[in-house]
Amino acid sequence: MFATATRNFVEEVDRGGSLIPVSSLNDTISLLTVVIKKKRVWFWQQPKYLPTDFTLNDILTGNTPIQPDTTELPFITYNGTFGGNIKGSAEATFIQSNVNVEGKDTSKLQSLFGSLKKEELTVQKLMTDSKERLLDMSHCLVEQTMMKPKQVFGIVKERIVTTQPCSVIEEVQKEGQLGGMLTVCGPKVKKISLKENASLSKDSNVTMEIPPHTTLAYGLIELEVKHNGHFKLCLMSGVNGGFEEVDGLLGASTAPAQHSERVDLKQVLDELKEHFQVLSALPAQTKSSLFQQITTLISDRALVSSLQNALHHKCHGDDSASAAAHEQQSPDVLDLVAQNGESKDGVVEALHLVLSAVDEMPSECLALLGMCCSRALLPDLERLVQCLVADGTLPLSAVKQTTLEDKLFVGVQHLFSSSRVSLERDGDSLRTKVQQEAGNLPLILCIAVRGLASLSQ
């Protein structure tokens, strides 16, 4: 809840900038706090930031601490409300079966942060004071960080702080109805009938009180560290820090290569197509259960992140104390994966790919994806994604008439627009085009839609 509020805040005030949202109220972040920046598996994922209990002075040699020069300035007054109403119904008719589902979700997250201030270091003085200083290479934090590839030291140079008591309020109402009859017949199988009419209602209202002087977001200066303890401040954007290795290279250079502003969607998706094929090849019952579990949690940012982390731990291993907690929050999905025997590892990696893309979506895009996650609509979304990857043009006849109806089509347009992709009608065709400065958002949308469509078949 707090992590979602701070992420929304950063998306609103500094999208594409240098501010990093604080993910936990338990993190104590001040100026000069040492933060570990951890590169992720997929190049479109934002790095993971792990605040430590140490400041730069704690890991320097010598007994003379650096006394930073700091300034405080009013930032903004911020009160944000996110959420809305989601309504949906679906009816499916099969041979000797009838199923209809109706649902209504209302969710609202209010971030009442009030007046905020910005604290920042005078970087020029920090450069002067740290010029001849050395990191203590025998310090436990330095040693443990150097052992892990793709990890970089950063120090907090600025932070956005609350100035008064404030709150985050989350209100959720969920209503659903399921009704229908399913009949199964076959050779040497008794006739089985299931009739069910059920309804579900769940309301929650949670208020989180946040004290003054709480850090909501912060900015970093990365450190380029030599093996003898000398270090430099990385002041320019695009200049990355890291630890020098024996051959003189920086440890951060082992991170996945970053793609240019305009990603070759076709090339990247071709490289990933085996993962989608793994999901498509799962038994129908397993796919259906996974699809239901994932689409149920997809509108909840915290649950999406938790499941993505759990799949990361399963896929790549992690000795962090939070690994078990993430797995406990996603037992149904992990149990379904565990049932696939020899193919389990491939399924874990494929699901991790899809959830990693979903987790990188901006909040607006994630909410819209949740509204569009139906078995009826996903095939058309996949066709539009294929259109984007190909020549950008798709005949109107290639999608269902219901998809082209005003309200639904506007929702699909908003989904694509929130991923920096324009979707327009042009005569008897649909046209898609990647917008300027789209970054990796179009690719993220393509991966999420293709992955969910693979499970919905």
Tell which wins on pLDDT, 347 or 315: 347
CA 49, 55, 57 angle in degrees (round to 5)? 145
Lowest pLDDT segment from 160-164, 324-328, 452-456: 324-328
Q: What is the mean pLDDT of residues 372-386?
A: 92
Residue pair 357/448 in contact by the 8 Å Cβ criterion: yes
For residue 246, name the pLDDT band (cuts at 50, 70, 90).
low
- Long-range pairs, 343-350, Cβ under 8 A, ≥24: 343/278, 343/282, 345/315, 346/275, 346/278, 347/278, 347/279, 347/282, 348/311, 348/314, 348/315, 349/275, 349/278, 349/315, 350/275, 350/276, 350/278, 350/279, 350/451
Name the residue with higher pLDDT: 79 or 261: 79
Which residues pair with residue 94 across a beta bridge?
Answer: 97
Q: Is the pLDDT of residue 254 over 70?
A: no
- What integer is the mean pLDDT of 342-357? 86
Backbone angles phi, psi at 133, to 5 degrees: -85, 160
Selection from 46, 41, 34, 40 nearest residue 7 by Cα: 46
**Quick one: pLDDT at residue 162?**
95
Please say if the pLDDT value at position 369 is more than 60. yes
Q: Quote the pLDDT of residue 301.
A: 82
193 confidence band (pLDDT: 50, 70, 90): very low
State residue 315's pLDDT score.
Answer: 82
| Those residues with Cβ within 8 angstroms of residue 427's Cβ, 6 or more apart along the chain or in another chain | none
The pLDDT of residue 10 is 92
User: pLDDT category, 367, cuts 50, 70, 90?
Assistant: confident
Least confident of 119-128, 214-223, 403-412: 403-412
- Residue range 290-311: mean pLDDT, rounded: 87
Q: Compute how many other C-beta atoms are within 10 angstroms of the C-beta atom of residue 205.
A: 10
Provide the mean pLDDT of the chain.
81
Strand pairing class (48-55; 33-38)? antiparallel
Please report, as a single letter, which amino acid is at residue 318: D
**Per-residue model confidence (pLDDT) at position 75:** 94
How many Cα atoms occupy the beta-carbon half-sphere of 428 within 13 Å? 3
Q: In the numeric block, which tokens belong to residue 172?
A: 């959720």
Q: Which two tokens stand for residue 295?
A: 């689409």
Compute the average pLDDT of residues 418-442. Answer: 90
pLDDT band at 84 (very low <50, low <70, confident <90, very high): low
pLDDT digits (tens, 9 = 90+) for 201-217: 445 678 889 999 999 99
The rounded distance, in Å, linking the Cα atoms of 440 and 442 is 6
Q: When comparing pLDDT for 248 and 101, which is higher?
A: 248
The predicted pLDDT at position 208 comes to 87
pLDDT for 190 equals 31
In this predicted model, which residue has the larger pLDDT, 183 or 244? Answer: 244
So what's the pLDDT on residue 174? 54
173 has pLDDT over 80:
no
Residue 230 has pLDDT above 50, yes or no: yes
> How buried is residue 50: exposed, middle or buried, by Cβ count under 10 Å (0-12/13-18/19+)?
middle
User: Residue 336 in contact with residue 279, Cβ under 8 Å?
Assistant: no
- Alpha-carbon distances of 258 from 49, 79, 170, 261, 263, rounded to whole Å: 18, 35, 36, 9, 10
Average pLDDT of the residues in 55-81: 92
DSSP state of 62: S
Distance CA 419, CA 364 (A): 9
Q: Could you give the C-alpha distances from 116 to 27, 113, 133, 215, 243, in angstroms and in order?
A: 18, 7, 34, 10, 35
User: Mean per-residue pLDDT for 19-46?
Assistant: 92
Write the CA distances from 400 to 56, 75, 95, 142, integer angstroms.
Answer: 59, 48, 22, 58
DSSP notation for 360-392? HS-HHHHHHHHHH--TTTHHHHHHHHHHHHTTS
Enumerate the β-bridge partners of residue 222: 154, 234
pLDDT at 327: 55
Which of 175-179, 333-337, 346-350 is predicted most confidently?
346-350
Could you tell me the residue ranges of all domains in the chain?
2-79+109-166+211-254, 265-456
State yes or no: pLDDT of 91 exceeds 50. Answer: no
303 pLDDT tier (thresholds 50, 70, 90) = confident
pTM of the entire structure? 0.76
pLDDT for res 345: 78
Residue 219 scores a pLDDT above 80: yes
Return the pLDDT at 381: 94
Residue 255: pLDDT band with limits 50, 70, 90: very low
What pLDDT is attached to residue 120? 96
Determine which helix (DSSP H) or strand (DSSP E) holds 73, and give its type and residue range: strand 70-94
| pLDDT at 89 exceeding the cut of 50 | no
